[in-house]
Structure 1
Amino acid sequence: MPFDSLSFGIIALAAYKPDWDLFRAQLLSIQAQTHTNFECLISADGGHEEVQEFVTREMGGDQRFKVLGFRDRLGFYGNFERVLQHVPGNAEWVALSDQDDSWYPTKIETLLPHLNDVSLVAAQARVVRRPGNDVVAESTHRKDVSLGSLIAQNQVTGSLCIFRRDLLDLALPFPRFPAITQVHDHWLAVCAKATGGALIVDDIVQDYVQHAANVLGEVEGRKSLAKSLENVTAMSRKYHGGGNPLALLRTANDLSFGWRRTMADELSRRCGEPAQGAGTELTAFASGHSWVSTMRTLVAGLRRGEIARSCFLEFVAGSPVEIIGRRRRRD
Structure 2
Amino acid sequence: MTSTDPASVPGFIVLAAYRPPAELFSRQLRSIQAQTLTAFQCVIVADGGVDEVRGQVVDAVGTDERFRVVGFEERVGFYSNFERGLEEVPSDAPWVALSDQDDEWRHDKLAILVPALERAALVSGQARVVTYPEGVVVSASTQRRAVTAPALVLENQFSGALCVFRGSLLRTALPFPRYTGPAQVHDHWLAVCAAATGGIAVVDTVVQDYVQHSANVLGEADTARLGWRQTLRRRRDAVRTDTQGAGPRAVARSIYLVNAGWAEVMIDALGTRVVRAPVQQLAAAFGSHRRSGRTVQTVIGAARRREISARSAAVYLVGSALWTLTGGDRRG
Query: Which TM-score tier does this pair reach, normalised by the shorter chain?
Result: over 0.9
Map 1:68-217 onto structure 2 (within 5 A): 68-89=70-91, 91-217=93-219
- Rounded Cα–Cα distance in structure 1 between residues aligned with 2:91 and 2:282: 31
Q: How many residues align?
A: 328
**Amino acid across the alignment from 1:281:** L
Partner in structure 2 of residue 251 of structure 1: 254
Report how far residue 223 of structure 1 moved: 2.0
Residue identity over aligned pairs, in percent, reads 45
Partner in structure 2 of residue 306 of structure 1: 307
Residues 31 and 239 (structure 1 numbering): CA distance in 2 closer, same or farther, change over 3 Å? farther
Contact 1:101 1:209 in 2 (8 A): yes
1:18 aligned onto 2:20 = yes
Partner in structure 1 of residue 284 of structure 2: 283
Task: Summarize deviations over 1:87-112 as a string: whole Å, max 9, x none.
Answer: 13552110000000000011000001
- Rounded Cα–Cα distance in structure 2 between residues aligned with 1:53 and 1:244: 50
Gaps of 5+ in 1: none
- Rounded Cα–Cα distance in structure 1 between residues aligned with 2:108 and 2:239: 42
Contact 2:103 2:210 in 1 (8 A): yes
Gaps of 5+ in 2: none
Partner in structure 2 of residue 236 of structure 1: 239
Residues 322 and 119 (structure 1 numbering): CA distance in 2 closer, same or farther, change over 3 Å? same
Residues 37 and 296 (structure 1 numbering): CA distance in 2 closer, same or farther, change over 3 Å? same
**Amino acid across the alignment from 2:315:** E
- Which is further off, 315-324 or 15-24? 315-324
- Rounded Cα–Cα distance in structure 2 between residues aligned with 1:13 and 1:198: 22
- Rounded Cα–Cα distance in structure 2 between residues aligned with 1:322 and 1:213: 34
Contact 2:270 2:279 in 1 (8 A): no
1:227 aligned onto 2:230 = yes
Partner in structure 2 of residue 268 of structure 1: 271
Contact 1:283 1:289 in 2 (8 A): yes
Report how far residue 148 of structure 1 moved: 0.3
SS of the residue corresponding to residue 284 of structure 1 reads helix
- Rounded Cα–Cα distance in structure 2 between residues aligned with 1:158 and 1:327: 32
- Rounded Cα–Cα distance in structure 2 between residues aligned with 1:90 and 1:61: 27
Contact 1:156 1:189 in 2 (8 A): yes
- Rounded Cα–Cα distance in structure 2 between residues aligned with 1:144 and 1:193: 9
Partner in structure 2 of residue 61 of structure 1: 63
- Rounded Cα–Cα distance in structure 1 between residues aligned with 2:135 and 2:244: 37
Report how far residue 281 of structure 1 moved: 2.7
Task: Summarize deviations over 1:144-169 as a string: whole Å, max 9, x none.
Answer: 10000000111110000000001001
Partner in structure 1 of residue 53 of structure 2: 51
Q: Please report the RMSD computed on the Cα atoms of aligned residues, expressed in angstroms.
A: 1.9
TM-score of the pair, normalised by structure 1:
0.94
Residues 115 and 325 (structure 1 numbering): CA distance in 2 closer, same or farther, change over 3 Å? farther
Report how far residue 247 of structure 1 moved: 2.3
